Amino acid sequence: MEQFNYLIKSITDKGLKPNINLDRPTYIQPEDRIQYRSTRILIILGMLNTKFGLSKNVIACIDFLLRNEAFQAKFIVEYFNGQKNVLKKLSLFKSKSQVEIDFNIVQYKSVPWDIRFNDMFLYLFVRDLITYKTDDNEKNVRILITEKGQAFFVKAKEIFPNEINLLELFGSRIAENRTINIITEVIPNSYWKQNVETDNK
């Protein structure tokens, strides 16, 4: 106690005012960093790399799936529904043993578009990691990974083992309409609170 009083006296004698912040420190989550989110977009483009590129909507849907592991098994079952290899695909899928569904998730009604996506695309574009092409009417934007982006993807993919594990199930190409339908229709109708029937009405 004597040492503590001496410390206080030394501080006050110098005209300093101690300021103790009892608030919890704020930690920046990876999801809040544009570098992290942009790299995951490159992972998507690198794994599902076709000469046609991917639409922004399907990138948004896959990004949602990678961020929300609780919906991944459901997506796999729905995507490969009716195919003989559905059980094999599930056996290759390595998920965490305990993943709880977050019922407080933003319950979107269409494509789960993040307003930061355009910033992320710009972040990648100005660094020559992605490019894009459109149809003759400047519509139907398709995002493609560049040669430089591909080289970056090869180095970065080791950081995203869970994402790689999931995306490997779909080979080098994913059915876009089916993917968007599952994310925008099947999952909301299966999990959103207002769409889940209960006995307590």
Compare 108 and 122 and report the one with higher pLDDT.
Answer: 122
Beta bridge partners of 145: 130
pLDDT more than 70, % of the chain: 79
Q: What is the pTM of this model?
A: 0.75
Residue 195, exposed/middle/buried by CB under 10 A (0-12, 13-18, 19+)?
exposed
- Residue 93 is predicted with a pLDDT of 79
pLDDT one-digit tens code per residue, 61-91: 999 999 888 889 889 989 988 887 777 777 7
> What is the pLDDT at residue 147?
95
Alpha helices in 48-198 (DSSP H): 56-67, 72-79, 86-92, 117-125, 147-156, 161-167, 176-181, 187-191
